[in-house]
Structure 1
Amino acid sequence: MPRVVDHRARRAEIVNAVIELIATEGAEALTVRKAAAAAGLSTGALAHYFADKDALLAAAFAEVVARSGFRIRTLPGDADPADLLYQALLAPLPLNDARRTESRVWLAFLDRALVREDATELLREVYAEWRRQVSGIIVRGQREGRFRADIDPEATAHTLTALVDGLTVHAVFDPARLDADVLRRLIDAQVRSLLAGPAR
């Protein structure tokens, strides 16, 4: 009797193998052959799930986005808006080894998006959703009197997400200077600057 394959689990195994491969060898080293070997599959078996390197990289990027999005979605909805914004901005940052790995995948996909329109469009959608989430938290904070009324939520969300993007790049390249404690302090300072009344 043929063995039943859990295709969802197999796909996840391949994606996780690709993420680790990018983390250890860089995106330029990613090939279908290496991905298959890392996942313990033949190239033919892997081809049932992913057609080429671009598909592998896109799947790895989607997984990284899902992990960051999960951190944001699972934040308590009734939390103080300032705390919620702080945690939402921390969600994508490389605060530990696993998240530094995720950040390397993110940066690899950014590079790919420069030359492939489908990757560019996906990236636009991800950034738009991220800004929408941050803007929504700011709007709620203004409604509850936690954030200053003079803040433009959309413009501020754009600024904050761009800041997180920049911090991610710097932290990946210089983790000793921008460790988790420093990143938390920088994000906390940004959130405090938005507060109405005395800083918490």
Structure 2
Amino acid sequence: MPRQVDHEGRRRLIAEAVCRLADERGLEGVTLRDVAARARVSMGAVQRCFSTKDEMLAFTLDHVGERIGERVRARVVRAPAQSAASALGHAATEVSLLDPVHRAEARVWLAFVAQAAVSPELTRTLRTNYAALEEVFTHLIAEGGADAGGGADVDAQREARTLLALADGLTAHVLIDHLTHDEALGVLDAHLSALWQRLTGSPS
């Protein structure tokens, strides 16, 4: 019998190859031929998985976003007894990709963000990923306000969008060494502390 091919597994294998190449040379240096070589599959195998390079890049961006999203969800549900404030802090730290072990992932993510500015397909994928993260942040901020008995004047969705934008900005600033890891964490912690002060109605 002919050998069965795990197409989804192969697509993820190819996506990982795209990530490694993008980390090394940016998306402009990613070619189908190089991806095939890095993934150790034939050009035909790549073309059977993806009809175009844009489709391959969109899948890879979704793959990276899914990986980040899984870590966020794991931090949120790992300790069910944790407060919404603690869960939001963990989630925002994951999204910011501040941990040195995520430096390569940060380079890849920002390469895709830049490319999405001129690629409608990547734009759609990126917006879907951001929408999912925004939903998690909004839920945690609203929950935190309800738990604290305050937050009536706080727009949870707007605060979630602000936090998401801050996280992306910190990713870039750490990546180019404008901020150190600890300095970026300090900025994030200060923002979150001010947010929870508003939610609880405590003085700043």
Residue in 2 aligned with 1:68? Answer: 68
The AA in structure 2 aligned to 1:18 is V
The AA in structure 1 aligned to 2:184 is L
Residue in 2 aligned with 1:186? Answer: 187
Post-superposition offset of 1:6:
2.4
Residue in 2 aligned with 1:40? Answer: 40
Percentage of identical aligned residues? 37
Residue in 2 aligned with 1:162? Answer: 165
Compute the RMSD of aligned alpha carbons. 2.1
Post-superposition offset of 1:173:
1.7
How far apart, CA to CA, are the structure 1 residues paired with 2:99 and 2:51? 32
How far apart, CA to CA, are the structure 2 residues paired with 1:146 and 1:28? 50
Question: Please, which runs of 5 or more residues in structure 1 have no aligned partner?
Answer: none
1:93-129: CA deviation from partner (whole Å, max 9, x where unpaired): 2334552222222222222222232322222222222
The AA in structure 1 aligned to 2:170 is L
CA contact (8 A) 2:71 2:94 kept: yes
**Which moves more between the two structures, 55-64 or 2-11?**
2-11
Kindly tell me the number of residue pairs found equivalent between the two proteins: 197
How far apart, CA to CA, are the structure 2 residues paired with 1:98 and 1:60? 19
Q: How does 1:1-200 map to 2 (within 5 A)?
A: 1-74=1-74, 75-76=76-77, 77-145=80-148, 148-174=151-177, 177-195=178-196, 196=200, 197=202
CA contact (8 A) 2:72 2:95 kept: no
How far apart, CA to CA, are the structure 2 residues paired with 1:153 and 1:53? 38
How far apart, CA to CA, are the structure 2 residues paired with 1:123 and 1:157? 17
**Which moves more between the two structures, 72-81 or 1-10?**
1-10
Post-superposition offset of 1:11:
1.8
CA contact (8 A) 1:138 1:147 kept: no
Question: Please, which runs of 5 or more residues in structure 2 have no aligned partner?
Answer: none
1:23-65: CA deviation from partner (whole Å, max 9, x where unpaired): 0111110010010000011211211112232122212211111
Structure-2 change in CA distance of 1:147 and 1:17 (3 Å): farther
The AA in structure 1 aligned to 2:194 is S
Structure-2 change in CA distance of 1:147 and 1:166 (3 Å): farther
3-state secondary structure, aligned to 2:195 = coil
**Which moves more between the two structures, 30-39 or 115-124?**
115-124
Structure-2 change in CA distance of 1:59 and 1:147 (3 Å): farther
How far apart, CA to CA, are the structure 2 residues paired with 1:146 and 1:191? 17
Structure-2 change in CA distance of 1:98 and 1:47 (3 Å): farther
**Which moves more between the two structures, 1-10 or 43-52?**
1-10
